[in-house]
C-alpha cells in the first residue's frame, strides 16, 4: 500500500479549464434578430468583435469602444446595426480567418503586448476563435480585470508589467437552434438504437463512415462544433421528449472532451 507524501512542487504548467459560475464584464444577450452587448464595468471595453463562421463563409462585426455601463445592439446578420460606427465584413473562410487574426493581433499589441506575444496568442487560439462553426463574441477586457480575477505577486518585482485578457462569449442564435435540433434528434436516435461508437470520439468518427449519409453528416456537424457541442446540445434538448438519462449517457460518453 502506497501513501502519498505532501511536499512542495514547482509546476511548469497550469491546468486552467474548469466549470464555474462567473459573470464577466461583458453581458451578451440575443433575441430573434439582434445581439445586445452591455458593458457591466466602470471602465470602457476598447475592442470587441462579433464573429461567425457558417460553412465556408465568415463574417466579422467590429464594434467600437463600449463605454462604462454602455450598450451596443448588433444585428445577428452583421449588417443592420442600431449603433453608428459598427463595421461589418462578410468574406470567404480564408479571408475571414486572416482578417480576424490581424485585427485581434493589432488590438493585443495596442493593449500592451509585444508583437510576437500577440501573434503567438492569436495563433494558439486561431482554430477555437475563428475556425469553429457558430457565433461568438471576443473582447479585450478592461485593464484592471486580470489583477482582480487573477492576482499575483512576482519577486523580484519587474520594472514593468502588462497583463492582457481576451474574453470570449459563445453564442447560440435562434437560427442555429432551429438547425441543430433535428441534427441532434438524428444522432441521439441513432445512439439510442445501439450505436457501436460509444467508447470514444475517434471510434465513433470511424464508425460514421459506414452510416447512412444523413447520419454521417449529422455526426460531422456536431463534432464540428468542437468542445462547445455539449452546452449547445444541452440547450436545444432543454424541453425535448428524450429520456434525460439517455441524454446524459450520450453526452458524457461522446461529447465531453
- In whole angstroms, what is the distance from residue 15 CA to residue 256 CA? 17
Mean pLDDT across the stretch 195-209?
A: 47
Same domain, 250 and 238: yes
In a domain, residue 82? The reply is yes
- Is 58 inside a domain boundary? yes
N-terminal to C-terminal alpha carbon distance within the chain: 33
Q: For residue 123, give the H/E element and its range.
A: helix 115-126
pLDDT tens readout for residues 69-115? 999 988 876 544 444 455 566 789 999 999 999 999 999 999 999 99
Please list the residues that pair with 49 across neighbouring strands.
62, 138
Of 171, 194, 228, which residue constitutes the final position of a domain? 171
Instruction: With respect to residue 13, please indicate whether it lies within any of the assigned structural domains.
Output: no
Q: Look up residue 249 and give its three cell numbers.
A: 449517457
Angle at 148 between CA 144 and CA 154, to 5 degrees: 90
Instruction: Round to whole Å and give the CA distance between 171 and 194.
Output: 32
30 and 153, same domain (yes or no): yes
Q: Model-level pTM? A: 0.76
Sheet holding 134-140, edge to edge: 87-92, 57-63, 48-54, 134-140, 166-171
Q: What are 46-75's pLDDT values in tens digits?
A: 999 999 888 888 889 898 889 999 999 888
Which is more confident, 235 or 193?
A: 235
Compute the mean pLDDT over every residue in the chain, rounded to the nearest whole number.
80
Q: How confident is the model at residue 235 (pLDDT cuts 50, 70, 90)?
A: confident
Please check whether residues 34 and 147 belong to one and the same domain.
yes
The answer to whether 164 and 111 are in contact (CB under 8 A) is yes
103, 137, 171 - which closes a domain = 171
Residue 122, in any domain of the structure: yes
* Any domain includes 182: yes
Same domain as 60, residue 115: yes
Grid-cell match 459560475, residue found: 21
Number of structural domains the chain divides into: 2
Q: Which domain holds residue 77?
A: 26-171
Within a domain: residue 21?
no
Whether omega for the bond prior to residue 231 falls within 30 degrees of 0, making it cis, is no
Is residue 195 domain-shared with residue 148, that is, in the same domain? no
Residue 71 in any domain: the answer is: yes
3-state secondary structure of 170: strand
Amino acid at each position: 500500500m502506497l501513501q502519498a507524501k505532501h511536499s512542495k512542487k514547482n509546476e511548469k504548467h497550469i491546468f486552467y479549464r474548469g466549470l464555474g459560475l462567473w459573470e464577466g464584464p461583458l453581458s451578451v444577450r440575443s433575441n430573434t434578430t439582434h445581439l445586445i452587448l452591455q458593458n457591466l464595468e466602470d471602465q470602457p471595453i476598447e475592442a470587441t468583435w462579433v464573429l461567425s463562421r457558417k460553412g465556408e463563409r465568415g463574417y466579422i462585426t467590429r464594434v467600437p469602444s463600449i463605454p462604462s455601463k454602455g450598450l451596443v445592439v448588433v444585428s445577428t446578420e452583421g449588417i443592420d446595426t442600431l449603433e453608428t460606427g459598427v463595421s461589418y465584413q462578410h468574406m470567404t473562410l480564408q479571408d475571414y480567418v486572416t482578417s480576424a487574426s490581424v485585427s485581434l493581433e493589432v488590438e493585443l499589441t495596442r493593449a500592451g503586448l509585444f508583437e510576437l506575444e500577440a501573434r503567438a496568442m492569436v495563433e494558439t487560439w486561431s482554430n477555437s476563435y475563428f475556425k469553429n462553426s457558430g457565433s461568438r463574441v471576443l473582447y479585450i477586457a478592461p485593464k484592471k480585470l486580470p489583477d482582480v480575477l487573477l492576482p499575483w505577486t512576482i519577486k523580484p518585482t519587474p520594472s514593468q508589467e502588462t497583463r492582457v485578457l481576451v474574453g470570449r462569449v459563445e453564442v447560440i442564435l435562434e437560427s442555429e437552434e432551429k438547425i441543430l435540433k433535428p441534427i441532434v434528434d438524428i444522432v441521439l436516435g441513432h445512439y439510442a438504437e445501439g450505436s457501436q461508437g460509444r467508447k470514444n470520439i475517434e471510434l465513433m468518427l470511424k464508425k460514421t463512415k459506414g452510416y447512412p449519409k444523413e447520419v454521417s453528416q449529422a455526426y460531422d456537424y456536431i463534432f464540428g462544433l468542437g468542445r462547445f457541442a455539449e452546452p449547445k446540445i444541452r440547450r436545444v434538448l432543454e424541453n425535448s421528449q428524450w429520456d434525460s438519462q439517455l441524454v446524459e449517457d450520450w453526452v458524457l460518453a461522446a461529447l465531453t472532451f
